[in-house]
Amino acid sequence: MKISFLIHTIYGIGGTIRTTLNLAEELANRHEVEIVSVFRHRDDSAFALDPRITVVPMLDTRQGSADRQDPLFAEPAVAFPRAEARYKEYSKLTDERVRAHYAVSDADVVIGTRPGLVAYVARFAPPTAVRIGQEHMTHNHHRAALREEMYEHLDALDAFVTVSEGDAQVWREKMPLPTTRVLAIPNSVPEPSVAPSDGTGQTVVAAGRLAAEKQYEVLVEAFAEVAAARPDWSLRIYGSGDQRDRLRARIDELGLYNAVHLMGPHSPIEPEWAKGAIAASTSRHESFGMTLVEAMRCGVPMVSTDCDYGPREIIQDGVDGLLVPVGDVRAVARALLRLIDDEDLRRGMAAAAWRNARRFDPGVVTKQYEALFDELAAEAAQRADIPGITPVADCTVAPDGSLDVTLAAPLPKGFERGARLVCTRTGAHTEMRTYDFDARGSATVPAGEEFSEGVWNVFMELAETATRGRVSARVVDQRGALHAAERLTPGGAVRNLVPYEDKAKGGALMLRAWHRPIHAEAADVQVDGAKVTLSGTLLGPAAITWEPILMLRRRGRPSDEIVFPGVRVGEDGFRFTFSSTVPAASQITSHDVWDAFVRYSPDAPPVKIGRLLDDVVMKQQIYVYPHTVMAKKRQDGVARAVAKRVLGRPRKKVRVRVYYTLSNDVALNVVDL
């Protein structure tokens, strides 16, 4: 069997690289293994590479390389998800190189090791290959925008593997993937090259990135209690990161400079674990917990926070280590002192840690992967005989708000029954709506169907083969959306569902849904220099009970508010007239954004003002209002005036503009010119 790992780079240092190499080296005992490294930024890998493993770099980004001069290198990627953290590092050249590599690949299994590369696997892996995505972080770690982009790619995999069962369960609950097996297989840690700790030392050891989520300040503060009670014990923290200076200052502030030492990065780390009598981890969250297993494999008992998700699946509390609440300084101190003061307990846990951690040996973990490969291989072979589907459809909005989606071509022969339209949206959870196609190839989304607010993807699914294809738009008739206001029921929620073609996704048919229990619908916006007049109507089960108030809230700092009085117009209308010089004078960044709300009653929370009830999906570029340019306010006005008079420097200006956000809500921005 040939197994291909697709990794960002094999030439760096990191947990994903290390665990990939552990698995690849063990697989190389029985299989052909290649590691496809998208980037090569240095001559040699930081880790020793097993000569049995073939390393295939896609792009050479070393100084002076020809790849850096390729015109495609400067063009943004199309196949790589835009919400992925490393999106800006990818390009059309990476798209093309990875596609070309797998177009002629004979790999039996292809494994993607980060979200963007999982998308590459879903798009480019050979049709007969088993397609596997690995999750080295957690579901909750990823932004909703990335989860939304990844849904269709994860849905195209044979298996999606997390490193903890807790995280796998979250994926199953929040993003159901009917055609993809979601399971947990832990990372592997090889047997240390040093003898286990003899437990005779008086050192507590911790290791990992000095990053905020590791919460080393909790460990340092806990050790202040330990040092006061047991001054002959010390704490060593190994690693580097942006929290080093802050930790150093806290150590000095607590007077622990003789007891707590920042040791810097160390590789290999096993000899340092073996020096310890106790190991500690105080992370806020962990996807797995490699350092826990490393310490335990060196025969060191662990004190760890019981964070999501890894520690509780690695440590048996009271057997091979102790679990304590996240962020609880006193609990960490008590656990450390318990092991310090009870040598028999400490030695018993050390022996159990060394024994129990053997379940993470590469040989044991690799057998789980091999069993998965074998189970999925037959399914992948059958998939090669199933034709892919690339549906194209027309979509019409009826006056009553229902949507009719009609395929532009007949269904594949033999699949006329069981085809359905699938609409999905991924946020905190993945939501799904399904509608059957009739014999004519039409599916109807009924009027009044409840879609939560946001962007929905549209697929066609053939139930018989469990294949799914994104629907491309041919003609989208949105005229029925012009009647959205007429369809509102008195006292009912405000809803609108508008189909559109997304050219950025290759002409995909998409749905934009709005659903608000109470809504302030914007009408006219008049701009006369710095004077702005904004009017609209309150909709839903609410009523204006006093003279309405306009509230502008600074984006990112909602406690910063500017309030303007308004007038009630008729029964449900409102109108505000205000000067944009006020938010301009309150500017604190080079680009301030103020969101607009209306307070319609003293006892009710304010609601956003937006324009939702028509056929225009994205109003930002359509409803454009004049902007106002004014002199920028200066805090040190006298000094600046003197400087201008003496040096002749012009005063800087700002532009103030009312506009619609991506969600079609009213906002105002103040931007330096």
> Under 8 Å CB-to-CB from 329, ≥6 apart: which residues?
218, 221, 222, 225
pLDDT number for residue 118 = 98
pLDDT for res 89: 97
pLDDT digits (tens, 9 = 90+) for 360-397: 999 999 999 999 999 998 777 666 655 567 899 999 99
Domain count, the chain: 4
Which three-class secondary structure state does DSSP give residue 294?
helix
In a domain, 376, yes or no: no
Residues 551 and 476 in one domain: no
Q: Where in 573-625 does DSSP place strands (E)?
A: 573-579, 591-599, 607-610
Going by pLDDT thresholds of 50, 70 and 90, the confidence category of residue 469 is confident
Domain boundary among 516, 544, 572: 516
Q: What is the pLDDT of residue 31?
A: 94
Owner of token pair 């998939």: 383
For the segment 11-18, the average pLDDT, to the nearest whole number, is 87
pLDDT of 428 strictly over 90 = no
pLDDT score recorded for residue 416: 60
State the pLDDT at residue 440.
Answer: 87
Residue 383 lies in a domain: no
In a domain, 499, yes or no: yes
Judging by beta carbons within 10 Å of its beta carbon (0-12, 13-18, 19+), is residue 73 exposed, middle or buried?
middle
Mean pLDDT of 588-593: 91
Q: Give a yes or no: residue 605 inside a domain.
A: yes
Please report the pLDDT score of residue 637 as a whole number: 43
CATH number at residue 620: 2.60.40
pLDDT digits (tens, 9 = 90+) for 37-57: 999 999 998 888 999 999 999
- The verdict on 662 and 532 lying in the same domain is yes
Residue that finishes a domain, picked among 327, 355, 383: 355
320 pLDDT band, cuts 50/70/90, is very high
Residue 664 lies in domain = 519-672
pLDDT at 643: 35
The answer on 180 and 39 residing in a single domain is yes
Same domain, 615 and 665: yes
Considering the domain architecture, whether residues 164 and 267 belong to the same structural domain is answered as: no
> What is the average pLDDT value for the chain, to the nearest integer?
92
Does any domain span residue 639?
Answer: yes
Q: What is the CATH number of the domain that holds 288?
A: 3.40.50.2000
Q: Answer yes or no: do 286 and 409 share one domain.
A: no
pLDDT of residue 379: 74
Predicted confidence band at 640 (pLDDT cuts at 50, 70, 90)?
very low
Query: Quick check: 527 pLDDT over 70?
Result: yes
Give yes or no: residues 298 and 419 share one domain: no
* Secondary structure (H, E, C), 640-664: HHHHHHHHCCCCCEEEEEEEECCCC
- Check whether residue 153 and residue 25 sit in a common domain: yes
**Quick one: pLDDT band at residue 183, thresholds 50, 70, 90?**
very high
State whether 476 and 404 are in the same domain. Answer: yes
Give the percent of the chain with pLDDT over 90: 80
Given 153, 184, 215, the domain boundary residue is 184
**Is 512 in the same domain as 529?**
no
Considering only CA atoms, which of 187, 157, 188, 202 is closest in space to residue 175?
A: 157
- For the whole model, what pTM was predicted? 0.75
pLDDT bucket at 413, cuts 50 / 70 / 90: low
Residue 423 inside a domain? The answer is yes
Do 180 and 275 share a domain, yes or no?
Answer: no
Give pLDDT, residue 641: 40
Task: Compute the distance between CA of residue 144 and CA of residue 416 in angstroms, rounded to an integer.
Answer: 35
Residue 161 lies in a domain: yes
pLDDT computed for residue 100 by the predictor: 94
Q: Is the pLDDT of residue 82 over 70?
A: yes
Percent of the chain with pLDDT over 70: 95
477 DSSP β-pair partners: 396
Residue 93 within any structural domain of the chain? yes
349 in the same domain as 228: yes
Task: For residue 621, give every residue at least 6 positions away whose Cβ sits within 8 Å of its Cβ, in sequence order, or none.
Answer: none
